[in-house]
Chains A and B, each alone.
Chain A
Amino acid sequence: MFRFVMKRLLMLIPVLIGVSLIVFTLMQLTPGDPAQIMLGPQASQEDIENMREQMGLNEPIYVQYFKFLFGIVTLDFGRSIQDGQAVITKIFEHLPATLKLTFAAMVVAIAIGVPVGIISATRQYSFFDHTSTIGALVGFSMPNYWLSLMLIIIFAVNLNWLPVSGYGGMVFLILPAIALGTQTAAVIMRMTRSSMLEVLRSDYIRTARAKGLTERAVIYVHALKNALIPIITVVGLQVGVLLEGAILTEAVFSWPGIGRFMVDAIRAKDFPVVQGSVLFIAFLFVMVNLLVDVLYAYIDPRIKAQYK
C-alpha cells in the first residue's frame, strides 16, 4: 500500500506542473500591469519601472515561470499586492472556514444521496423511486445562489429558526451546507442508484441469494461494497464542484472562506493572491483524488493487485 501511495504521489507532479503552467499563463494574459496596480494611478512612470524591476517583471518569461514554480514548491506564493502580507498566511487564515463548509456540504450530500440511491435501486420503479428521481432532478437544477436565498428567506427570515448569515457555531453552518450540498446530493443519489442497479443484476448477487442470505445482507454486504467504486469517484469529483460552489455560497452567507477572499482579490486585481489561491485549491483537489484512488485499492482487491 505504501508503494501504491508513493507511486500515486509521483504521478501528481506532472499534474501540478500543468496546473501551475495554466495559472501562470492566464495571469500573463490578464490585462493590467501588476506594478501599476500596486502603486496606484498616481505613480510616475519611473516608479512603476523600478517596481517592475523589483518584482522581476522585466525578466524573460521562462525565468519568471521558474521562479514562480520554485516559489510554489517552497510554499512561497509571494505577497499580496493589497497589503503586502504573505499570500500563504492569508490562505491558511481563510482555508479552515472553506474546508468546514465543503466538508459539511459533502456530509449532507452523502447522508442524503447514498441511502436514497440504495433504496431507489432496490425498489426500482416504485413510488419512492419515482419521487426521489423527481427530487434529484429538482435538486440538481436549482441554482446554488437561488437555493441559498430561498433557504435564508424561509428558515432565517420567516421561521427565524437559523441565522441569516455569519460565521461561528453549528447553527451558522446548517443553511450554507444544505445550500451547497443539494446539487451534489442529487448527483450522488443518481450515481448510487445506477451503480447499485447494475451490481444487483450481477451473477454474484444471485450466488449470495442462493446461499440463503437475507435481502438486507445481500444489499449491504454483497452489493454495496461493489457499488462503491463509481460512487467514490463521483464524490471525489464533486469535491471540486463544491469548492467552486463555495465561492458563491460564501458570498451569499458572508462566510469568511477562501472563496470570498478570492473574489475580493480578483476585484482588486491582486495577482499573487489569486494565483496562490487557485493553485492551493487545485492542490487540495488533487490530494482528494489521491485519497479516492487509495480508497479504490482498499475496496477492490483487483485494483490493489495492479499496484503490487
Chain B
Amino acid sequence: MKEVLIEVKDLSVQYTSEGKEIKAVNNISFQVNKGETLGIVGETGAGKTTTALAIMRLIQTPPGKIRNGSVQFDGKDLLQEKESVLRKVRGNKISMIFQDPMTSLNPVYTVGDQIAEVIWLHEKVSKTEARKKAGSILELVGIPAERGSEYPHEFSGGMKQRVGIAIALACNPQLLIADEPTTALDVTIQAQVLRLMTNLKEKLNTSMILITHDLGVVSEVCDKVAIMYAGEIVEYGTLEEIFRNPSHPYTQGLFNSIPNMNKKVRRLTPIVGLMPDPTEIPSGCSFHPRCPKAMKECKSMKPGNIQLNGEHKVSCHLFDETVVRGRVETNEPSTP
C-alpha cells in the first residue's frame, strides 16, 4: 500500500456572483499518493482550478467560499489551520503552476528576483544566496542564469512558463499542482514544457496533480485519473482502468471526441450540449440532459459513488444494481 500524501474529502466551494450562488465544486473527494501523479480532466468550467486553489486555500473570499470539506496533508487539515501555517505550506510544500504564463508573473520585477523571493522566504538563506540558487534553478529549467536579470516581457510564453515551473519547484515541494500548464502555449512548445515538468518531478520525487482537458497528456503523464463534470468527480481510477474501461457516459464521450489514429472513425462524436449553468445544476445526475444513456431515474435521483474493480469508481445509475434491477423488474427500456 502506498503512502497517502494528501487527502481531500467532501470539498465544496461556491462563488457568489450578482446575488447568485455558483456551485463550482460539489462534495468531491480524492487522494494523491507519494510520488504519484493524479490527472484531473474536465471541460472549462468543471471546477478544476477552483479545486486546486481550494487545496492551497487561495480561493478569494468574496466572491468564493469553501463551504465544506477537509484537506489532510502532513497530519493537518489545511482548511482548518491558521493563515500562518498555510503560508509555510504554500510555495514550499505545495506549489502551483498556473494556466496563463503571460499574466502569472509580476511585470515589474525581474524573473530572477521572483524566483529568489520564494527561496528566501522559505529557506532562511540570505538574499544573495537565494539569488544564486535562483540562477541554478533557471539553468535547471533550461534558461541561462544570466537571464535572471531580465523582466517577464523579455521572455516568450514558453520561457515564462519555464520560469513558472522554476518558481514552483524552487523549494522542492512535496506536491506540485499544475493547472493546465501548457494550454496557453504553442502546440510545438507544449510537449517541451510538459517533458521538462515531468522530468523534474521525477528527479525531485514530487507528487503531482495535473489539471488538463487533454486525455493525450494524461495518458503520458498520469498514474491516476479523475474525471470532473459540473463540480463533481464522476469517474476515478488508475490510468489503465480509465483508458481500458471508461465507464461513465461522460468519460466515454470525452474519449469519443478525440481523434483516434488506430480506429477508422469517420467523424468525431463530440458530447452534445453544453456544460450546465453552474447556478442551476440539473437535478439528479447533473449530466442527464446531455447523457445518451439517461434513464427516468437519472432526472430525479443523484447517483452514488459505485465501486467497480480495483480503485475504479463511477457515479452513474447504470452501475447501480438496485436501479438496474428495478428497471428489469418493471420492464422499462434502459434508453428512453
Contact = CB atoms under 8 A, between A and B. Distances in A.
Contacts of A305: 151, 153-154
A124 to B, nearest CB: 8
A300 interface: yes
B58 interface: yes
Interface stretch (B98-106, B135-143, B245-253, B267-275): B98-106
Contacts of A210: 56, 58, 90-91, 95-96, 98
A212 B103 contact: no
A213 B58 CA distance: 12
Contacts of B90: 209-212
B78 interface: no
Interface string A193-229: 0000000001110111111111000000010011000
B92 interface: yes
Interface string B84-95: 001111111001
A299 interface: yes
Given A206-B98, A207-B105, A211-B167, A302 B151 contact: yes
A208 B58 contact: no
B101 to A, nearest CB: 9
Contacts of B92: 212
B121 A211 contact: yes
Contacts of B88: 212
A212 B91 contact: yes
B122 interface: yes
Given A203-B103, A207-B167, A212 B87 contact: yes
Q: Top 7 nearest A-B pairs by Cβ distance?
A: A212-B90, A211-B91, A212-B91, A203-B103, A301-B151, A204-B106, A212-B87
A212 B91 CA distance: 6
A206 B89 CA distance: 15
Contact of B87 (A204, A206, A213): A213
Contacts of B259: none
B153 A301 contact: yes
A213 B98 contact: no
B98 A207 contact: yes
Interface in B70-122: 86-92, 95-96, 98, 100, 103-109, 117-118, 121-122
Given A203-B104, A204-B103, A226-B107, 12 more contacts: A204-B106, A207-B105, A207-B106, A210-B91, A210-B96, A210-B98, A212-B118, A212-B121, A222-B106, A222-B109, A225-B109, A299-B108
Given A212-B118, A213-B121, A300 B91 contact: no
A300 B167 contact: no
Nearest to B170: A211
B107 A204 contact: yes
Interface string B133-159: 000000000000000000101100000
8 contacts: A203-B104, A206-B53, A207-B98, A207-B105, A212-B121, A214-B87, A226-B106, A301-B108
Contacts of B109: 222, 225
A204 B102 CA distance: 9
User: Which of A207, A208, A213 counts the most B-chain CB atoms under 10 A from its CB?
Assistant: A207
Contacts of B95: 210-211
A212 B105 CA distance: 15
Contacts of A206: 53, 58, 98, 104
B116 to A, nearest CB: 11
Contacts of B122: 212
B201 to A, nearest CB: 17
Contacts of A203: 98, 100, 103-104
Contact of B117 (A202, A211, A226): A211
Nearest to B103: A203
A187 B275 CA distance: 44
Nearest to B164: A207
Interface string A34-76: 0000000000000000000000000000000000000000000
Contacts of A300: 107-108
B275 to A, nearest CB: 23
A270 B118 CA distance: 65
A300 B154 CA distance: 13
B58 A225 contact: no
Contacts of B56: 210
Contacts of A211: 90-91, 95, 117-118, 121, 167
Given A207-B167, A212-B122, A301 B89 contact: no
